[in-house]
Structure 1
């Protein structure tokens, strides 16, 4: 086994090497680096079976180390070794693709052997899943393109037939054409919903700094071009977070569009931000004055294709909130909703953020 150890503390490095010598067979070799940047160059190839990496290094602070490691593309599983015993940090590191998190004061021979062995197997499975995901996304794009083209041709054919019939169209035929157009639009919405749902299952997520104020502006600009219903949105100052810009756009778009759609009044949406010091998380709230829902439905609404209302009254694919849920999970975030029938709803999305 080939192990890369990234540790600048010589005492810690010697202790860990002793544990490795006892935990693994004699043919195990350890290559040590004191700085992160040369270690990252080594991680770009497949020389090593596993990497044990400290967070605080001479050329990289804790925050910088996390940012760099979460963006690196490597087949080598990475286990973080640190003196920081923080479950929130551990959870976030796993979200960013690290295989495990070990406080140095808990290290022993059996634990090190078990964690490394499992990490290697998990990484192998992760790579296999990523390859399958990539294939599925390519299939989704191809299917979406072909499917969208066929639906568009059906819609165009319907319009051409109506134009050719002209005044010969009876009231009954007009009803049938309206039904055809409605179903063409519904199929188009379903195709988009399915594509968004499948394409948000990204296991190798790479994040950037995303200004949520800009995301809301882009969503509002998009809605203004497509919504017939008037609405009012009030937005407080929002933070910038680590995330995938395209997915965050879909998340905000779906939550805002739902607040507009499921409303019998003039929609009023309030988007606000609170910072939870205890969990070190940004909590974004989406409060509306819509139709609301009974408490018994609150946990069901995030399931794919689950609908509370008939398609006649509120059209949709039944995938909007399940897409939101998947995006939230991709970001290591949480979502919950409070609602009462007839009194609107409030969605709470909590994004945990690591301190730099």
Structure 2
């Protein structure tokens, strides 16, 4: 039985600028099953958000999907017109954006913003949609939801605004929820509450989640499968237990660097490890391996030749000429 809800195949998304073509996403492949969470992790500029916007056709000019397939329940979203995508957005696929204060309309009350997609997609009356909005706020654990629906966004805290965004995304019980760094700028206590809420909602509604973040700690808590992105490409993809397995025989050097940069509470260190250097300019990408300019194991082959994403063991794919730690030249 095919349980694949979303299949992204060989996705290429480019931005055609006056200074050149920015190849923001190149050849990305992944699948998400119903009721499962795919965590996508990487530094800023790795193509995580552009991948999400490509799925929902929310790319700003001059961005464009130039190649690939985005199959949702077997239907290619790339072939849909604007009207067709509007029926999908907010109904079958919803998105939680990074900053709730800029994503919520500041001049409309919370209740109106929550009830609007319910009326649009589910055909409910204004009164029914308003009552549904109250229940949604209650479901995401906002106290006194009967009053909150009459509030404006500026009257709520950052954590409450993010809960409103989650409630809005879940208003029509979507099959897929895309969460683009949903806990940005929130304190750790609120982050933990949001993570628990997302896990609970996934279990109740069997919603698939595409969780985008730069935080590997969040990935460990939420994800079933993980895709590590760098400069528009997936450099490692595997089940979450494999990604965090310290005894794993295979690992991408970039993923290793991200893991080493995580602070450990039970270990005293003078300074945190970091991935040396910075993400290359999108118009000046390296000729060979994209990570070669920052990799301590890079050889002449890495500099001049481009590695492919290959399966090194069951369900574990790595884009590296030396995926086995013991075969690397330090």
TM-score (norm 1): 0.21
Q: Mark the structure with the bigger radius of gyration.
A: 1
Instruction: Give 1 or 2: higher strand fraction.
Output: 2
Instruction: Give 1 or 2: higher helix fraction.
Output: 1
Ranked by relative contact order (alpha carbons within 8 Å, sequence separation 6 or more), the top structure is 2
TM-score (norm 2): 0.23
